[in-house]
Structure 1
């Protein structure tokens, strides 16, 4: 295998490098089946909401990381294809615990779309600083696009038919995407928002950035436990939600359905 100017492997890539993994396709199947059962009111609504949201959130985590990887590939980094990042396999993205399990845990206990771990990108192979910033921008942009897409049925008034828990779950899924996009755009070292500005920093600022980056996610999580910062965060989320037509009341109901293990009046 030959290597290009920046150390990126050059040559014909196998089709398998771009083919969706069976695990991702299985998650999609679970999303569709649980969504159909929920819409039709077949089985336990609360358990179906749990399956529907958990599958949908995991699929969105894969799409978030895939967006990073695809943009990096278009920008000149062939290594992302060789590492399997373009197969949408959740097990390929950095570390399953940080990329999948931890974000799922935050959804379970707090209803917040925590950013997952990022793909490893060979930034030296990216052809320009603008493209390097675009790699970081692509992930949270995918979350925002999903939030708008999931909100669209509500803005079009299509939520009058079917089982109410289905629409509550869909609103909650949109809410999760919105929280994920807002968190990801925070200009914190080690988070997508910080990585977005990194290529434009001076060498001195980059050195400071690199010292903080390994702890950036932990700092961000800790800040969310501050009542004032937490209030500011959700104020931004609800403001954007109102702008795109997200029914936050239904999203709250969706979260209540999602936590099926808790006693509820639903």
Structure 2
């Protein structure tokens, strides 16, 4: 009987409301961007705050894209888990998704992907939705890249407000590296998760066994000099294709502080 059927989960408005933490990151990005635009205060500090805040905002949006796609694809419990509030503290592995990627940004300007949103794959309606969930995250980074590069592509005068445009260029470069890395077809990374639903059962089992080590594999590959050089060569090629201003980017690299190890 209809009355005996289990009612589907219904999300409340509060589970879609952006968290104060996310709004605070957006505010920090806006304020530091204004300081960089007006050249008030310390230029290096302004660039640092703008890039770090922007990077954390993009990570929240990346995970949100996974979650909202999963919500529409059948796993409505992602709302109950708090993934749709853009609160980084709600994610499964905040350390892997925020701390480690932020360290890599400070080490050398690499937008390392993270993995935080747990999705109940059994509740997803189809393989297409399953792949779309994995695609949504890096697609968000790519869209963020295009938005940030667009002013350079249309010929903005970077000599005016030089510090601000340096920060924008460096943040755009980080977004592009994140998009490229996320699309690498390694188990446990979005690119691998994107193709996994279409593999035969034997290959899927192999993927699932390797997946917990996917991030480690990616880090080891990036630490290999030849692969690292090829990776950055490809990223610079894409940046040029999109219309990146390399003078502003070089200035951004210079102004952003880096960890020396």
TM-score between both structures, scaled by the size of structure 1: 0.92
Conserved 8 A contact 2:162-2:248: no
Deviations 1:68-89 (A, max 9, x none): 0011111111111110100001
1:22 is the counterpart of 2:20: yes
Equivalent pair of 1:159/1:167 in contact (CA under 8 Å): no
Take 2:181 and 2:88, find their aligned partners in 1: how far apart are those partners? 20
Distance 1:261 1:42, change over 3 A: farther
The reply on whether 1:146 has 2:144 as its aligned counterpart is: yes
Instruction: Tell me the residue number matched to 2:246.
Output: 248
Relative distance call for 1:243 and 1:98 in structure 2 (3 A) is same
Q: What does residue range 92-241 of structure 1 map to in structure 2 within 5 Å?
A: 92-160=90-158, 162-241=160-239
Q: Deviations over 1:34-74 (max 9, x none)?
A: 00011000111110100000000000000000000011111
Q: Which runs of 5+ in 2 are unaligned?
A: none
Kept in 2, the 8 Å contact 1:168–1:253? The answer is yes
Shift of 1:103: 0.6
Partner deviation per Cα, 1:161-218 (whole Å, 9 max, x = no partner): 6421110110000000000000000000000000000001111101111111100110
Secondary structure in 2 matching 1:10 = coil
1:78 to 72, 76, 79: 76
Structure 1 unaligned segments of length 5 or more: list them. none
Secondary structure of the equivalent of 2:48? helix
Cα displacement (A) at 1:252? 2.6
Offset, 1:96: 1.5
SS of the residue corresponding to residue 199 of structure 1 reads helix
TM-superposition CA deviations, 1:205-260 (whole Å, max 9, x none): 01111111100110110011111111111111111111110123422321221107
1:158 is displaced (CA, Å) by: 2.2
* Larger deviation, residues 157-166 vs 29-38: 157-166
Aligned counterpart in structure 2 of residue 54 of structure 1, from 48, 52, 55: 52
Q: CA RMSD in A?
A: 1.6
Alignment size in residue pairs: 256
